[in-house]
Amino acid sequence: MSSLCKAFGKMIGIIRKAERSEASEEASSPSASLPSKVYLKALPLRSLEDVDEIKREVKLGNILILKVTPLAKKSLDDVKRAVVELHEFTQQIGGDIARLGEERVVITPPSIRIWREKIAASKEGLPQFNCF
């Protein structure tokens, strides 16, 4: 499981780049109205085909917590591809994405931002963020 943690930590470097540039993008947030109901959904990421469903849910205004372990057990390369694709999608629509521990990622629509508080650095030297 430690190789999964190391690989996942490296992939999150992509997300960290977006977090650094987030402050400059705050002023240009979209003025879309909130959907009538927003759901918080926890979903497993089992295959690359799940990425399209995840994008659809975020476009509907829902918040997603993805567990990447099911796909990571099959292919770390597929997890990397999925995270990169979801990061690019999230940037494109003005949403937000962040790591929640070792096995989860949260993705929000443009109307919702993820609060981050820096805490002590992890063993790999990557900063950790409290999202809750």
Residue 104, domain CATH: 3.30.110.150
Q: Is 28 domain-assigned?
A: no
Whether residue 67 lies inside any domain: the answer is: yes
For the chain, the domain total comes to 1
Q: How confident is the model at residue 101 (pLDDT cuts 50, 70, 90)?
A: confident
Contact 34, 55 (CB under 8 A): no
Question: Alpha-carbon distance 128 to 132, whole Å?
Answer: 12
* Position 40 in a domain: yes
Name the pLDDT band for 102 (thresholds 50, 70, 90): confident
Q: Is residue 118 part of a domain?
A: yes
What percent of the chain has pLDDT above 90?
A: 57
The pTM (predicted TM-score) of the whole model is 0.65
pLDDT digits (tens, 9 = 90+) for 14-50: 566 555 555 445 444 444 555 678 999 999 999 999 9
Predicted confidence (pLDDT) at residue 126 exceeds the cutoff of 90: no
Mean pLDDT for the chain overall: 79
- 29 found inside a domain: no
* Neighbour-count burial of 40, counting CB atoms closer than 10 A to its CB (0-12 exposed, 13-18 middle, 19+ buried): exposed
Would residue 68 count as lying in a domain? Answer: yes
Distance CA 109, CA 111 (A): 6
Judge whether residue 132 has pLDDT over 50. Answer: no
100 burial type by CB count under 10 A (0-12 exposed, 13-18 middle, 19+ buried): middle
Residues 46 and 92: beta-carbon distance below 8 Å: no
User: Does the residue 30 lie in any domain?
Assistant: no
- Residue 20 token pair: 């650094």
Q: Contact at 8 Å (CB) between 43 and 66? A: yes
Q: Is residue 65 part of a domain?
A: yes
Helix, strand, coil % in the chain, rounded to nearest 5 = 45, 20, 35
| Residue 97: domain span | 2-22+36-130
